[in-house]
């Protein structure tokens, strides 16, 4: 045990400080965070990660978040820091604990591409369900068209690693596969893989299929509802498809 920055750090034997477990080797004396929030209930973000403005109700489906909410054991985490205290466990695919037609705004940034197509359909259906009539849904996903055009351009220039660009940048390829206990743990806790990617045309069609209207490609900070300026981050809009739609 050692003391660092006013906190006691406990070093656990038998765990290698690298790979999947590189941060499991420490435990802090911080209390388990409570879930109280000063958020406005009419604005919901899901798949928030560490970006959780207090004005929004923020959900994340991460198994790591559920682990961190456990008494005592939750003080261990595989990440470099804990989820903010106002992030609540919640899975948009299964449905969030939010009343139907209660939200003025819903936001999802770099979330939907991590879902298989069937789960994506459920997520959009549940998003529609919790929005009020006229409520705004804004989403951001990586732009498959941008990456595809970059791949073709590299092929046209004769670049031998054009495929590596595409597979790495889209998170569709794996350069290696871990085996054993660490590989299993990474598979359970790592949700970075992209399972179904989107471009503007396909996302517009998907939103229409679920009943949304006034669908448009949007940009950072251009929503008439200023609450979205609190939750959006400019960098998330780069090489991405950002869409706005209304119920």
Looking at per-residue pLDDT, the higher value among 26 and 159 belongs to 159
pLDDT at 17 over 70: no
- Asked if 86 and 52 touch (Cβ cutoff 8 Å), the reply is yes
Whether pLDDT at 45 is above 80: yes
Most confident segment among 29-33, 170-174, 175-179: 170-174
Confidence (pLDDT) at 41: 64
Average pLDDT, the chain: 84
Q: How sure is the predictor about 40, in pLDDT bands with cuts at 50, 70 and 90? A: low
How far are the Cα atoms of 110, 117, 145, 178 from residue 113, in angstroms, in the given order?
7, 9, 14, 23
Q: Cα torsion for 144, 149, 155, 161, to the nearest 10°? A: -40
Q: Answer whether residue 163 shows pLDDT above 60.
A: yes
pLDDT tens digit string along 57-99?
999 998 888 888 888 776 776 666 788 999 999 999 999 999 9
pLDDT at residue 162 in the model: 98
Q: Which CATH architecture has domain 40-64+91-246?
A: 3-Layer(aba) Sandwich (3.40)
What is the residue extent of each domain of the chain? 40-64+91-246
Task: Report pLDDT digits (tens) over 196-246.
Answer: 999 999 999 999 999 999 999 999 999 999 999 999 999 999 999 999 999
């Amino acid at each position: 045990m050692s003391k660092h920055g006013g906190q006691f750090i406990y070093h656990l034997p038998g765990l290698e400080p690298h790979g999947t477990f590189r941060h499991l080797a420490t435990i802090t004396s911080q209390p388990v965070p409570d879930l109280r929030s000063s958020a406005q209930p009419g604005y919901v973000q899901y798949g928030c990660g560490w970006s959780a403005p207090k004005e929004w109700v923020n959900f994340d489906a991460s198994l790591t978040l559920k682990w961190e909410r456990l008494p005592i054991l939750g003080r261990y985490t595989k990440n470099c820091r804990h989820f903010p205290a106002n992030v609540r466990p919640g899975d948009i695919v299964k449905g969030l604990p939010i009343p139907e037609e209660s939200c003025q705004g819903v936001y999802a940034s770099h979330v939907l591409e991590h879902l298989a197509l069937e789960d994506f359909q459920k997520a959009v259906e549940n998003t529609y369900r919790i929005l009020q009539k006229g409520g705004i849904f804004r989403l951001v996903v990586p732009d498959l068209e941008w990456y595809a055009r970059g791949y073709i351009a590299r092929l046209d220039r004769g670049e031998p690693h054009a495929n590596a660009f595409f597979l790495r940048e889209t998170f569709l390829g794996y350069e290696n596969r871990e085996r054993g206990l660490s590989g299993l743990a990474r598979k359970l806790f790592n949700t970075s893989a992209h399972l179904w990617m989107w471009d503007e045309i396909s996302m517009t069609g998907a939103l229409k299929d679920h009943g949304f209207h006034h669908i448009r490609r949007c940009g950072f900070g251009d929503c008439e509802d200023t609450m979205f300026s609190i939750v959006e981050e400019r960098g998330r809009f780069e090489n991405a498809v950002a869409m706005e739609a209304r119920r």
